[in-house]
């Protein structure tokens, strides 16, 4: 009887200990839920936001709502991208103190095909780029499916699209997904910083020197307008006219610059202004090619001495490259002519540098009659970085030169293409000397007094030896013109990296948050070894099936053994 009472007390004591432990776990869990502790244990710090990102998110004043259209059934790599997007958004949500909210939407959810097509059209018109993929259906077959790997960021009734899937055809699919994950933080925070900022930077497209017409740069203007206020106009030698602009774009000038205009640009740079130069020294009328041929002629722009002072020289020579774009040429087939694709060595596919945030992970850049560019001078105050180069099989020709479409019908002699990696674009950073240092400028100042500076503040500029890199093609119908997307190859439909390159150039030039450095982030691609999977498939299947079962059995035996010992001692 006494032993039964002791056993009853032991049971009550065990239940009390059990309830106390449960209560302790619940209390500890509640206390821990009040703490916001986030530890990133990954080697490449993929879940750690940069300091500029945290600063921008912490300073966000109003709520931001983000709609992500990457949802539904999709291949595993895209599911991994979706998971990374969700994780990044959750980090943004915490860093912004819950000012960011988001939802994932499957645009293919609508059962009515007409509603689904209307949804697709609406997303496309808002700026999201669709991608066609092959998906498995319920019967085991394959169907084409359209997805929109992007998001719409809504802030104060402003809606801005963000496309985060990199689609570089020159790298494998898995690598594109990895690059997309690497660029997530930059793509998202760059847009958030723009829409939530109290200051909108202004960018000026220069006129007055036969620069590209507005319709020729319409596509890039539309996309730059998401980040900047865009103006166009001539400076006409008026000093200070550019002071309110964060950057100036000189797009394909064809007329010589006057000394007074050069002085205005020079002093704008001396006061910290940024310039994107897109100019060339050889004039080629591409429109005349359709009539049989054209002539490439040397065309000075009177900015050669100015650029030389800043540290570069655009050479009057045209790059021919075996790694080039394809054009259509008419070939006789009996009594008829057929239009067939043929490589055109005058349109090189330029290589972006992978060592700089402006050009990292960009698609190849389409060039047209590209000149070469050299860095000059040994001024240690100026840092020079090559951004674009030709391939390893290229050469140059110097004007005057006759260019005919019939050249595309001939096989090039590869031995003549012995030059490699010719520079086509250079970034200059640092303190620049004035191009008018030790020169008389009294006749160029338009009778106005201004404080002449003979050296600049710390600033930046980018010089591209091809004015056509920023030019979009135009579809003409009567007096109306419709711009094609910048960088899109009309023959193959491939989207080159021209648009992203120009946008990155401008964002880098005016970046005051240090966000562009986020594009340098690298993550390791950890893929399974397919050879080992094939050779050791049975072994690893057994490990995954047997080991968990053995662990459960061993845990149960250990629990029974120790429990038996405890009760044996108590008895």
Could you tell me what percent of the chain has a pLDDT over 90? 40
Which residues have a Cβ under 8 Å from the Cβ of 364 and sit 6 or more positions away?
170, 349, 350, 351, 352, 496, 497
Residues 220 and 141 in one domain: no
Half-sphere exposure of 476 (CA within 13 A, CB side): 5
Q: Which residues contact 258 (CB under 8 A, 6 or more apart)?
A: 237, 302
**Direct distance between the N- and C-terminal alpha carbons of the chain, in angstroms, rounded to an integer:** 14
Mean local confidence (pLDDT), 129-142: 67
Q: Does pLDDT of 330 surpass 80?
A: no
Which of 159, 194, 229 terminates a domain? The answer is 194
**Token pair for 533:** 């999977």
Are 72 and 156 found together in one domain?
yes
487 backbone φψ class: left, alpha, beta (φ>0; ψ -120 to 50): left
- One domain, residues 414 and 378: yes
pLDDT at 412: 87
Residue 485 forms part of a structural domain: yes
SS3 40: coil
For residues 10 and 503, the model is more confident at 503
Q: Answer yes or no: is 516 within a domain.
A: no
Distance CA 258, CA 43 (A): 55
At 522 the pLDDT is 57
The gap from C-alpha 450 to its chain's centroid, in whole angstroms, comes to: 40
Q: What is the pLDDT of residues 528-556, one digit of tens each?
A: 566 777 777 777 778 788 888 888 888 77
What's the pLDDT at 42?
56
User: Which burial class, exposed, middle or buried, applies to 22 when counting CB atoms under 10 A from its CB (0-12, 13-18, 19+)?
Assistant: exposed
Residues 68 and 92 in one domain: yes
Looking at the structure, tell me whether residues 188 and 203 fall in a common domain.
no
pLDDT score recorded for residue 371: 97
Tens of pLDDT along 407-434? 888 888 889 999 999 999 999 999 999 9
Whether residue 186 is found in the same domain as residue 300? no
Q: pLDDT digit string (tens) for 38-53? A: 555 455 555 677 888 8
Taking residue 426's Cβ as centre, other Cβ atoms within 10 Å add up to 25
468 and 537 co-located in one domain: no
pTM assigned to the model: 0.80
Distance separating alpha carbons of residues 293 and 404, to the nearest angstrom: 4
Q: What is the pLDDT of residues 186-201, one digit of tens each?
A: 888 888 888 888 778 9
One domain for residues 321 and 467: yes
**Residue 439, pLDDT score:** 86
CA-to-CA distance for 43 and 20, rounded, in angstroms? 39
Q: Report yes or no on 338 lying in a domain.
A: yes
Q: Give the dihedral sign, CA 72/75/79/85.
A: negative
Q: How many domains does the chain have?
A: 3
Higher pLDDT, 27 or 103: 103
Give the end of a domain, one of 141, 162, 194.
194
**Residue 206 shares a structural domain with residue 353:** yes
- Which CATH number do you get for residue 428? 3.40.50
Q: How far apart are CA 541 and CA 548, in angstroms?
A: 12
* 339-365 average pLDDT score: 90
Confidence of residue 114 (pLDDT cuts 50, 70, 90): confident
Which tops the pLDDT comparison, 303 or 518?
303
| Contacts for 568 with CB less than 8 Å, ≥ 6 apart | none
* Predicted pLDDT of residue 74: 81
Range of the domain at 95: 51-194
Same domain, 239 and 353: yes
Q: Output the pLDDT for position 521.
A: 62
Q: Assess if residue 525 is contained within a domain.
A: no
Contact 164, 151 (CB under 8 A): yes
Domain-terminating residue out of 194, 225, 260: 194
pLDDT of residue 358: 92
Q: Which pLDDT does position 477 carry in this prediction?
A: 82
Q: Is residue 37 domain-resident?
A: no
pLDDT at 446: 62
Q: What is the CATH number of the domain that holds 82?
A: 3.40.30
The reply to whether omega before 400 is within 30° of 0 (cis) is: yes
Amino acid 226: pLDDT: 86
Q: How confident is the model at residue 142 (pLDDT cuts 50, 70, 90)?
A: low
Mean pLDDT of 472-487: 87
Same domain flag for 233 and 165: no
Query: Within a domain: residue 326?
Result: yes
**Mean of pLDDT values over 61-76:** 87
Q: Quick one: pLDDT at residue 102?
A: 92
User: Is residue 76 in a domain?
Assistant: yes
State the Cα–Cα distance between residues 460 and 312, nearest whole angstrom. Answer: 13
List the one residue out of 523, 522, 512 whose CA is nearest residue 190.
Answer: 512
The listed range with the strongest mean pLDDT (7-11, 92-96, 394-398, 486-490) is: 394-398
State the CB neighbour count (10 A cutoff) for residue 194: 18
Cα–Cα distance measured from residue 159 to residue 386, given in angstroms and rounded to the nearest whole number: 36
518 pLDDT higher than 80: no
Count CA within 13 A, CB hemisphere, residue 401: 20
Residue 489 lies in a domain: yes
Comparing 31 with 159, the larger pLDDT belongs to 159
Confidence of residue 116 (pLDDT cuts 50, 70, 90): confident
| Contact of 535 with 203, CB cutoff 8 Å | no
Beta strands in 335-467 (DSSP E): 336-352, 365-366, 371-375, 382-389, 394-397, 401-404, 423-430, 459-464
Ranking 61-75, 265-279, 304-318 by mean pLDDT, the lowest is 61-75
Task: Please tell me which residue, 215 or 28, carries the higher pLDDT value.
Answer: 215
Asked if residue 465 lies in contact with residue 445, where contact means CB atoms within 8 angstroms, the answer is no
Q: What average pLDDT score do residues 120-134 get?
A: 84
Q: Are residues 480 and 567 in the same domain?
A: no
Q: Is the pLDDT of residue 152 over 90?
A: yes
State how beta strands 371-375 and 312-321 pair: antiparallel
The mean pLDDT of 284-313, rounded to a whole number, is 88
């Amino acid at each position: 009887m006494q032993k039964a009472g002791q056993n009853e007390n032991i049971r009550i004591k065990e239940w009390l200990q059990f309830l106390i432990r449960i209560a302790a776990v619940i209390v500890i869990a509640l206390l821990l839920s009040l703490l916001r502790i986030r530890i990133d244990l990954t080697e490449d710090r993929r879940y750690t936001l940069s300091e500029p990102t945290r600063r921008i998110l912490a300073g966000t004043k109003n709520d931001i709502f983000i709609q992500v259209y990457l949802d539904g059934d999709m291949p595993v790599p895209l599911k991994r991208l979706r998971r990374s997007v969700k994780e990044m958004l959750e980090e943004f949500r915490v860093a912004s103190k819950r000012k960011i909210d988001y939802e994932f939407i499957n645009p293919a959810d609508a059962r009515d095909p007409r509603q689904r097509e209307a949804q697709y059209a609406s997303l496309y018109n808002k700026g999201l780029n669709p991608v066609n993929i092959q998906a498995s259906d319920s019967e085991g077959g394959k169907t084409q499916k359209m997805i929109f790997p992007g998001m719409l960021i809504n802030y104060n009734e402003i809606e801005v699209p963000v496309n985060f899937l990199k689609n570089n055809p020159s790298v494998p699919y898995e690598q594109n997904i990895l690059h997309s994950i690497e660029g997530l933080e930059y793509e998202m925070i760059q847009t958030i910083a723009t829409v939530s900022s109290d200051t909108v930077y202004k960018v000026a497209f220069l006129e007055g020197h036969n620069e590209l017409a507005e319709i020729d740069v319409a596509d890039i203007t539309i996309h730059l307008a998401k980040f900047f206020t865009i103006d166009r106009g001539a400076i006409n030698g008026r000093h200070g006219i550019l002071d309110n602009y964060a950057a100036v774009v000189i797009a394909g000038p064809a007329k010589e610059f006057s000394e007074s205009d050069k002085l205005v640009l020079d002093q704008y740079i001396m006061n910290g202004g940024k310039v994107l130069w897109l100019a060339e020294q050889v004039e080629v009328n591409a429109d005349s090619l359709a009539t049989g041929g054209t002539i490439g002629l040397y065309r000075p722009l009177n900015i050669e001495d100015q650029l030389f002072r800043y540290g570069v020289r655009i050479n009057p020579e045209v790059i021919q490259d075996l790694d080039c774009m394809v054009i259509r040429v008419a070939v006789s087939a009996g009594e008829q002519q057929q239009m067939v694709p043929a490589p055109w060595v005058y349109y090189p596919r330029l290589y972006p540098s992978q060592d700089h945030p402006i050009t990292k992970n960009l698609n190849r850049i389409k060039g047209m009659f590209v000149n070469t560019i050299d860095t000059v001078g040994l001024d240690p105050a100026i840092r020079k970085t090559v951004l674009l180069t030709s391939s390893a099989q290229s050469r140059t020709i110097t004007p005057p030169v006759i260019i005919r479409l019939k050249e595309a019908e001939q096989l090039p002699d590869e031995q003549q293409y012995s030059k490699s990696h010719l520079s086509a674009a250079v970034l200059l950073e640092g303190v620049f000397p004035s191009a008018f240092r030790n020169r008389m400028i009294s006749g160029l100042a338009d009778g106005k007094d201004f404080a002449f500076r003979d050296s600049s503040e710390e600033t930046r500029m980018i010089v591209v030896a091809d004015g056509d890199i920023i030019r979009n093609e135009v579809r003409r119908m009567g007096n109306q013109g419709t711009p094609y997307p910048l960088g899109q190859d009309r023959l193959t439909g491939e989207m080159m990296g021209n648009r992203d390159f120009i946008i990155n150039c401008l964002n880098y030039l005016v970046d005051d948050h240090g966000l562009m450095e986020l594009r340098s982030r690298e993550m390791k691609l950890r893929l399974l070894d397919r050879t080992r999977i094939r050779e050791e498939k049975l072994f690893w299947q057994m490990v995954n099936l047997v080991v968990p079962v053995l662990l459960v059995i061993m845990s149960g035996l250990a629990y029974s053994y120790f429990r038996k010992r405890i009760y044996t001692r108590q008895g």
